[in-house]
Structure 1
Amino acid sequence: MIWNEEFETLPREALEALQLKRLKATLERVYATVPFYKKKFDEVGFHPDKLKQLSDLKYVPFTTKQDLRDNYPFGLFAVPRDQVVRVHASSGTTGKPTVVGYTKRDISTWAELMARTFTAAGVKKGDILQNAYGYGLFTGGLGAHYGAEMIGATVIPISGGNSKRQVMLMKDFGSNAISCTPSYALNLYEAALEEGINVKELPLRVGIFGAEPWTNEMRREIEEKWGIDAIDIYGLSEVIGPGVSFECIEAKSGLHINEDHFLVEVIDPDTGEPLPYGEKGEIVFTSLTKEALPVIRYRTRDISRIIKEPCICGRTFVRMEKVTGRTDDMLIIRGVNLFPSQIESILIETKGVLPHYQIIVDRVNNLDQLEVLVEVSEEFFSDEIKVLQNLEQTIEKNIKDLIGITCKVRLVEPKTIERSEGKAKRVIDKRKL
């Protein structure tokens, strides 16, 4: 199913012409209304008049999360403050949060993008969506909410947390779609088991999951446990929130980028040089229709690649592969680059292991030490010590063989690792780097 065929199936030539028109207008507007961008453009000798083709964007400076923090709270707004009808902010772990604003038209655009997202996942008018993304300053809850209402779904604005109540209402209300983080979906599965609910007897048929990187192995885990389709979505508050890109239920192979609203680039994260489509690198977005807070060449730090081949669903937008990690999530352990998703892939393929883990990095006597805490199932944990030791050694060997790094695996009881109602905290880095 396609929500907006006029734009989602535009021929590439028409789509790129629309992008160029919108890009020129956006650059002219930020140059005239946002002192930060005027200064940045002037410093490199770029004027919006110099943009003749889409590839000329490479001459424009990047925008980073730090730029948003440096202009906290409203310094990057491109409209008068009284035209901003809503403000969201990221849950930054350090320093000031990044603040984003929306005009009335921005809110309508956002709802449109999420309507496309839900439609691509097979959600339709009359469906009951349990929206377990967090409401509040986080963009997930309200972002999903408006889009689901636009297509005529019934929204349960339950937000995150209170998992036992969540599964009770899921059963009582007959929810047939759920939106939340993938790690929270696994948390809800455990809550359902504790309540004696057989989730495969529920009418739930699809989950729309995002807000954290997750692997195809975790997708299979969720789909097998719940008996549903698990669909990946992508977004970030600095660009708009959820709705930047989405998988289609027909293919589940790459996330369609809403290219009529966002121009995507892939760059070498070290040099900043643009990379051709197909090569893996850091994803960069430029907003084409945002009014309150346009972003120009925003460095997401997310690692992916762009797929140009046509999709079986009929959409003409390019697709981005599932994010495999972030440049700032990447750990360097004794010279080896490590993404948490690599560990996750190994653990989910291991029998007896639950999909809950934590990576702890420390430095002892000037040497990096890596420990992986892994939950195991009840039956495994109550088994002989020798069986547990063999399992630990097997995981350690698989990590060594597949990633090339030596680590200590420690098996822990079920529910030992703290559960998250939002993004799972996968890494604890104790090093003072």
Structure 2
Amino acid sequence: MNKVLDSKRTPLLREEWDLELQKMFESRFAPKWNANIGDRIGEEEFEFVKSFQKDLVYAKEHSLYQTKESILSFIEIYINTSTFFKQQLEGIQWKQNFESIPFTNRDDLQSKITDIIPIDANLKDMVINPTSGTTGKPILAPNHPKAIGCYVPLIEYSVNKYGVTPIHSPKSTFAIQLCYQQNTIVYATCHSLAGGAKFAKINIHPNSWNKPSDLQNFLLEFSPQILTGDPYAFESAMKMGIKYKPEAIHSTALELTPALRNNLSEYFQCPVINFYSLNETGPIAYSCPKDPEWMHLLPHDLYVEVISNETLTPIPTGNVGEIVLTGGRNPYLPLLRYKTGDQGEIQYGTCECGDHFPRLRLLSGRKPVYFQKPNGETVNPIDVARILRKNSIIYQFQVEQITEVRWECRLSLSDTMDMSEISLENEKTKIKEELESLFGKGSQVYISTNFPLDGKKQIVFINSYLSQRDSKS
């Protein structure tokens, strides 16, 4: 047998882990693997995450979540090492008046990231996680393996609250992530922080399998404890008739409606955990086992505010505003009053579930929008975004399906690009052809350059056709 992983990708790799992972790679039901991923967790990172986990458990047991007063020590750490922190705090009495600290927004993460990164940070272990949010304007968010490693105890805490006990063994598959995209990376790996337990990301789109029956057989063969993914992938799995009963479903990335949550729970015969996470912050909250309309703040090192959309000041429980975050564990991206763009309300107090951290209710998260081809098949907007993001002249974008066969693609083009009118038209024609190929025979895509640059959070995907059709039916 050849090694699947190597010590560069997985420094703590053991032979028995690799042998078990090899079985997954070589399964006769395996998908078409196209990537090789390791956790990059060495001894130092391992100890960091285990210490974080210990602090997390203690904080949860004693309800020691971050407050306006306790988060000040976090700010103290970075005021002398982050140029951005120093500039934001200069000339104000921030210790006495926390609300006087200016907000950080997405534009800051895009244009001032070198100022945010502490000057004493060791950059050799930096990992770049591109994120597009809702505007299509990418953030090249820097991260560290030890911060990414903290996903493991955070996810394990959330599933444990739903009665799932993670099995730390290389013979176990803790999670398989489901995607439904025309193209995406597909890989299997093991995690040093979970005793070598396996994890895989698979694409349930037919393009990713040798035979239609392989997907079902692959899930049965490796029996993951939980299935992860976004609501679009899980809804697609139901429509495809996938039969598998995990211990829990972990839904993230998009807004999970109560109706879909109930349908998923009934179809897969397991609890459904809604997970609120951002690429900039990592996990933020998970749905309460007793009242899933609310989500408990998950980590102990994030301070949460909800601010008025009008006055930009903190508002009391029962009022809706924008969620703002301070803190985190990413050494390259400390957050100082970061405006997430997500709307919700916050509630404090004890909870029947036993987790007494603050509760959030998201009122306008990232709603899933599906496109429909003229032949009736659905298209994942991620496939649309993949085409548009690879083009360096596009600054922001918005795509709307107008009718069964008509789409409008609105672009904001970079004013720094030196292009002739002819070459610009050629680029727009190329984009049009790629999108029409994705949407299928009979589709018509119209390119315009009137995307609003008004500084407001824009909806990147809209389906007016399906909304109008559904409202009439």
TM-score class, shorter-chain normalisation, is 0.5 to 0.7
The answer (yes or no) to whether the contact 2:126–2:143 under 8 Å persists in 1 is yes
2:222 counterpart letter in structure 1: F
Q: What does residue 87 of structure 1 align with?
A: 128
* 2:173 maps to which of 114, 120, 128: 128
Query: 1:292-346 CA deviation, whole Å, 9 max, x = no partner?
Result: 210111111111111223222211201111x2215xx7xxxxxxxxxx68x99xx
Which whole-Å CA distance do the structure 1 matches of 2:304 and 2:186 have between them?
A: 25
Tell me the equivalent position of 1:427. 462
Counterpart residue number, 2:139:
98
Aligned to 1:381: none
Q: Call closer, same or farther: CA 1:314–1:141 in 2, change over 3 Å.
A: farther
Counterpart AA for 2:310: D
Q: Deviations over 1:157-197 (max 9, x none)?
A: 12444465543311222234101001101112223x2xxx5
User: 2:86 and 2:215 mapped to 1: Cα distance?
Assistant: 48
How far residue 141 of structure 1 moved from its aligned partner, in angstroms, is 10
Confirm or deny: 8 A CA contact 2:89 2:101 kept in the other structure.
yes
Q: Give deviations 1:351-396, integer Å, cap 9, x for gaps.
A: xxx99999xxxxxxxxxx99698xxxxxxxxxxxxxxxxxxxxxxx
Secondary structure in 2 matching 1:122: coil
User: What is the TM-score with the length of structure 1 in the denominator?
Assistant: 0.63
Query: Once structures 1 and 2 are overlaid, which stretch shifts more, 310-319 or 178-187?
Result: 310-319
Measured in 2, the distance between the counterparts of 1:357 and 1:219 equals 19
Q: Does 1:169 align with 2:218?
A: yes
Equivalence for 2:84? 36
- Equivalent pairs: percent with the same residue? 19
Which secondary structure does the structure 1 equivalent of 2:312 belong to?
Answer: coil
Alignment CA distance shift 1:212-1:82 (3 Å): same
2:317 counterpart SS class: coil
Tell me the amino acid that sits aligned with residue 139 of structure 2.
Answer: T
Verify: 1:8 aligned to 2:60, yes or no: yes
Residues 129-164 of structure 1 show CA distances to partners (whole Å, capped at 9, x for unaligned) of 333167xxxxx999xx89x86455833312444465
1:20 aligns with 2:69: yes
2:189 pairs with 1:154: no
Which among 231, 234, 238 is matched to residue 280 of structure 2?
238
Matched, 1:46 2:92: yes
Q: Alignment partner for residue 190 of structure 1, among 218, 235, 239?
A: 239
Q: Could you tell which deviates more after superposition, 148-157 or 262-271?
A: 148-157
Structure 2: runs of 5 or more not aligned = 1-52, 180-184, 207-211, 371-376, 382-399, 405-441, 444-458, 466-473
Residue identity matched to 1:129: F
RMSD over aligned Cα atoms: 4.1
For 2:66 and 2:268, locate their aligned partners in 1 and report how far apart those are by CA, in whole Å.
40
Q: How many residues align?
A: 321
Structure 2 CA distance for partners of 1:309 and 1:169, relative to 1, 3 Å: same
TM superposition shift of 1:231: 0.9
Aligned partners of 1:141, 1:317: CA distance in 2, in Å? Answer: 36
Q: Distance in 2 between matches of 1:285 and 1:277?
A: 16
What's the offset of the Cα at 1:24?
2.1
> Which stretch shows the higher mean deviation, 204-213 or 109-118?
109-118
SS state of the match for residue 214, structure 1? coil
User: Which of 255, 268, 285 does residue 325 from structure 2 map onto?
Assistant: 285
After the TM superposition, which residues 215-294 of structure 1 pair with which residues of structure 2 at under 5 Å, given as runs?
A: 215-239=257-281, 241=282, 243-258=283-298, 260-294=300-334
Q: Give the Cα separation in 2 of the matches to 1:141 and 1:213.
A: 24
> Do the aligned partners of residues 16 and 86 (structure 1) sit closer, same or farther apart at CA in structure 2, a change above 3 Å counting?
closer
Q: Is the 8 A contact 1:121 1:208 kept in 2?
A: no
The structure-2 alpha-carbon separation of the partners of 1:16 and 1:28, relative to structure 1 and needing over 3 Å to count, comes to: closer
Distance 1:290 1:10, change over 3 A: farther
Task: For residue 79 of structure 2, give the secondary structure of its aligned residue in structure 1.
Answer: helix
Distance 1:68 1:428, change over 3 A: farther
Q: Which segment is superposed worse, 100-109 or 307-316?
A: 100-109
Q: Which moved more, 1:224-233 or 1:99-108?
A: 99-108
- 2-structure distance, mates of 1:67, 1:184: 32
2:274 maps to amino acid: D
Tell me if structure 1 keeps the 8 A contact 2:320–2:343.
Answer: yes
User: CA separation in 1, counterparts of 2:239 and 2:403?
Assistant: 22
Quote the Cα distance in structure 2 between the aligned partners of 1:26 and 1:5.
Answer: 20
Question: What does residue 307 of structure 1 align with?
Answer: 347
- 3-state DSSP of counterpart to 1:33: coil
Does the Cα contact within 8 Å between 1:132 and 1:141 map onto a contact in 2? no
Give the drift of 1:237. Answer: 1.1
Give the distance between the partners of 1:141 and 1:118, measured in 2 at CA: 24
Report the equivalent of 1:205.
Answer: 247
| Offset at residue 233 of structure 1 (A) | 0.5
TM-score between both structures, scaled by the size of structure 2: 0.58
